[in-house]
Structure 1
Amino acid sequence: MKEISVIKHFISNNIVLMEGEDKKYYENDINSELVKKETNEGITHKEFNERIRYEVAEFINHSFDNIVVLAGAGASVVVEEGKIDKEFGKTVLMIAEAIEEKMREESDTYTLQELATMSSYEEPVLDITTKKFNHRFNLEDFLSNLLTYEQFIKDDLKKEKFIKSKNKILDLIKDNTNYNFDGSKMKHGSFLKILSKYIKKPNKLTIVTTNYDTLFEEAAESLDFTVMDGFTFSYNPYFDGDMFEWNLVKDIPNVKTKELEYKKNIINLLKIHGSLTWENSINGKRINRKNKNLVEKPIMVFPSSNKYMQSYENPYFELFTKFQELLRRKNTLLITTGFSFADNHIAKMIIQAIKHNTGLAVLVSDYNIEQNHENWVELDELRINHFRIAFLKATLNNNLTDFLSERKRAGNNDY
């Protein structure tokens, strides 16, 4: 008998919901098909999604005091007809491919392969057999090699061309992460609205993102949300980490007791790898936030192993510290989207928080919830050992908002 392959869509301590290649849907194993009670017929795809929605609701409907979202590179990706729209978010691999193509067109810089050879990066840029971009090429490892090699270049002419090439790569990373919010294709706004409804004042929804783009800011503005991003409300906003602790309130008129009314729709935004809108002030003493079109040298942590060292500098240190503090709070829900847990620095921080904070629940959403790298495997082992972790096959700009919405959900006993 042919073994049926399945795709897992939801995994928690209590249940695994799967889709089979035979267009049937299963609960926990392939011997337990999901069927309608009245007719004993297999359920539809729509009904399967309703069941997932119900299980997600069971996991997140616990009146959490705090909700924190970690949005990685995948949160900016838009997929249409099975393909990633290159006008919006790109995967790290796509950015690397775009850099390779542009560097080959330049006459006064080294190609990516030349730089890889010079810095002794072992993985070839192009696949030796197909001559196409090598999917094993790791941009983060490559940049780490590059930045280490730079200090050993003795030849002045070679070093000048090398630095020009390095700076070109960094500029291309900026270019490939700079795109505008499009409400017709992106669901950041719906995402903010849905999760804000779960928050009880004076607590605020917190978005933590590794992305440099301004999608969450633009989505929030389209909804008239107020964003507390660590910058002051002054004419030239500058970074002051204390801003995250403040709230906007007003006195309630005609009330003898000193009651306060909290402003609605306020979110915290922690951009832990920097932003296209951040730039050092002229005297270098402050970090200012500006319109991204006016920023010449944005403050960004580029993908390399050196980013771990940079995270101990300000403002990154303050932002990471704030993120850690949020993960230590009782009765907290963390939702991750577009974050694969391959970033060891952040992944280990979350895993340690799960182990030490029994009041932390984590919903991991991704287009693939059956990954096999070390951090992902450790997360799943924690789930198996009854920590509050669930995995959901969903992406921000596709179906995540549907699974989080407060619509009437199918009950567990319907099929």
Structure 2
Amino acid sequence: MSKKYYFKSSKLSLYKDKDKYFKNDEELKAEGESEEYTEIKFDKEIKNAVSSWVNNRFDNIVCLIGAGASVVQGEDGYPDKQYGQTVQMIADEVLFSLKNKKYVLDKNELEVFTLEELITKIKYKEVISKKDSTGEEKQEVIKNFIINQDKEPVEKLSNNFNLENFLSVFLSYEKFVPEEDEEKFGNSRKAIFQEIIKATSYEYTSDKFYHAKFLNILSKLVKKEQKLNIVTTNYDTLLEDSANAEGFTVLDGFKFAQLPIFDASMFDWHLIKDVPNVKTQEVEYMSKVINLLKIHGSLTWELSPTGKNILRKSKGNVTNPVMVFPSSDKYAQSYQEPYFELFAKFQELLKRSNTLLITSGFSFADNHISRMILQAVKSNGSLHVLATDYDIEPNEPNENWSELVKMQEKDYQIALLKATMNDKLTGYLGGDNEY
């Protein structure tokens, strides 16, 4: 199929078919007969479509930032490992780190199981559906996930390996580990989680990550008495670092104190001052203030020694960060503190009238978040959604993305945009990026 969609709403579609560009099935052409209709002109058409969708008519703007927003594409078209890693890349790091059955943590060498041994012990498998030559759908059970490459002495995981599903089975099996394997199994758990932490601990740099542009553009669309609300599943500190670089004040649910303690009521406060020389009660709202809800925790969060409070520290001073590690029981974990308060706030934001939700780097694979969004669209008629991703027509879409597309086709207020945070998204939203 040569047709590739770049923007889709119930009333407008922009796509490319081979070397031609189309708007609602009508070919786009340059004004002069001798002129060629270029990708630059098509990008401007997309920018106009996005501008019509994202404008100043909304009372509230909420942005959901997923793992894909922390990934930068390299020159070869694949993610640059130095600037963010996909879940599949993290899984390969886990495979490599356990390969020699030894893992160094805090200068101590731990004895661990290899990933292949763990897969066997916990009986991890994946059941996938495939169509045969007759078109009939059949299920296939996958048990072997490690590929031995002929040309290189390096093992690699197949695309069928799902780190999230693996960790769910792994953590469930923990209760039934034989006594003789307990220490080694526990070491393996520490090693895997440490690899996840390392893989998400990259540093902000403005020439690679466009988070600052994103915040600046959207903060100008927010009414002065409101705050831009950023919700993220990411553990990294790219949003905080980019906001700090641009002079934003970030309300992340922690009190203003020398040692900040989590208090969800902080999201409800505004920063204001009295207007001088005015006798009335008129006040001025501080600009560039955002709410930041890190609904899966953060590299900078840690439990207090008493275990009663959650503290925010500098990244280098956290030993055991408070994080929801990727596993399919994330839904159950979201009912624990502080996640419950953060999810409740996110849900409340989606219920507000005249709200725009923009998603970036979120594939709708997280069921507990996706169902919340889909239900909000159905129940809140004034909620508009701009869902952006590197591909809005994946070959094997997850169930939630498929439902989102069907809802968009049924005239719900949903638009789909092919764009990523660190590529063209900020330009489409109104930035001055050169295409």
In the alignment, the residues of structure 2 paired with residue 142 and residue 398 of structure 1 have an alpha-carbon distance, to the nearest angstrom, of 31
Select the residue among 24, 27, 51 that pairs with 2:23.
Answer: 27
CA contact (8 A) 1:7 1:18 kept: yes
Give the equivalent residue in structure 2 for 1:181: 204
In the alignment, the residues of structure 2 paired with residue 240 and residue 396 of structure 1 have an alpha-carbon distance, to the nearest angstrom, of 30
CA contact (8 A) 2:92 2:156 kept: no
- Residue 410 of structure 2 corresponds to residue 385 of structure 1: yes
TM, length-normalised to structure 1 = 0.94
Q: 1:7 Cα deviation (Å)?
A: 1.2
Give the equivalent residue in structure 2 for 1:52: 46
- Residue 126 of structure 2 corresponds to residue 106 of structure 1: no
CA contact (8 A) 1:187 1:396 kept: yes
Q: 1:125 Cα deviation (Å)?
A: 2.8
Task: Quote the RMSD (CA, aligned, Å).
Answer: 1.6
The CA deviation string for residues 141-184 of structure 1, in whole angstroms up to 9 with x for no partner, is 10011111111123x22111111111110111111111110011
In the alignment, the residues of structure 2 paired with residue 386 and residue 379 of structure 1 have an alpha-carbon distance, to the nearest angstrom, of 11
- Residue 213 of structure 2 corresponds to residue 190 of structure 1: yes
In the alignment, the residues of structure 1 paired with residue 146 and residue 48 of structure 2 have an alpha-carbon distance, to the nearest angstrom, of 46
The CA deviation string for residues 259-280 of structure 1, in whole angstroms up to 9 with x for no partner, is 1111110000000000000000
Question: Structure 1 runs of 4+ off > 2 angstroms?
Answer: 36-42, 127-132
Matches within 5 A, 1:315-326: 315-326=338-349
Give the equivalent residue in structure 2 for 1:413: none
Q: 1:26 Cα deviation (Å)?
A: 1.4
Give the equivalent residue in structure 2 for 1:261: 284
In the alignment, the residues of structure 1 paired with residue 199 and residue 56 of structure 2 have an alpha-carbon distance, to the nearest angstrom, of 39
In the alignment, the residues of structure 1 paired with residue 115 and residue 36 of structure 2 have an alpha-carbon distance, to the nearest angstrom, of 52
Select the residue among 1, 6, 13 that pairs with 2:3.
Answer: 6
Give the equivalent residue in structure 1 for 2:146: 126
Matches within 5 A, 1:131-170: 132-154=156-178, 156-170=179-193
Give the equivalent residue in structure 2 for 1:231: 254
CA contact (8 A) 1:251 1:261 kept: yes
CA contact (8 A) 2:83 2:208 kept: no
Considering fraction of residues, name the structure with more strand.
2
Structure 1 stretches lacking a partner, 5+ long: 409-415
Structure 2 stretches lacking a partner, 5+ long: 103-110, 126-142
Q: 1:307 Cα deviation (Å)?
A: 1.6
- Residue 107 of structure 2 corresponds to residue 84 of structure 1: no
- Residue 420 of structure 2 corresponds to residue 395 of structure 1: yes
| Code of the aligned partner of 2:29 | V
SS in structure 1 opposite 2:352?
A: coil
- Residue 18 of structure 2 corresponds to residue 15 of structure 1: no
Identity %: 50
SS in structure 2 opposite 1:56?
A: helix
Q: 1:83 Cα deviation (Å)?
A: 2.4
Select the residue among 224, 247, 252 that pairs with 1:201.
Answer: 224
Give the equivalent residue in structure 1 for 2:355: 332
Give the equivalent residue in structure 2 for 1:412: none
| Code of the aligned partner of 2:204 | F
CA contact (8 A) 2:213 2:431 kept: no
Give the equivalent residue in structure 1 for 2:398: 373
SS in structure 2 opposite 1:84?
A: coil
SS in structure 1 opposite 2:95?
A: helix
CA contact (8 A) 2:4 2:16 kept: yes
- Residue 89 of structure 2 corresponds to residue 69 of structure 1: no
CA contact (8 A) 1:68 1:332 kept: yes
In the alignment, the residues of structure 2 paired with residue 56 and residue 62 of structure 1 have an alpha-carbon distance, to the nearest angstrom, of 12
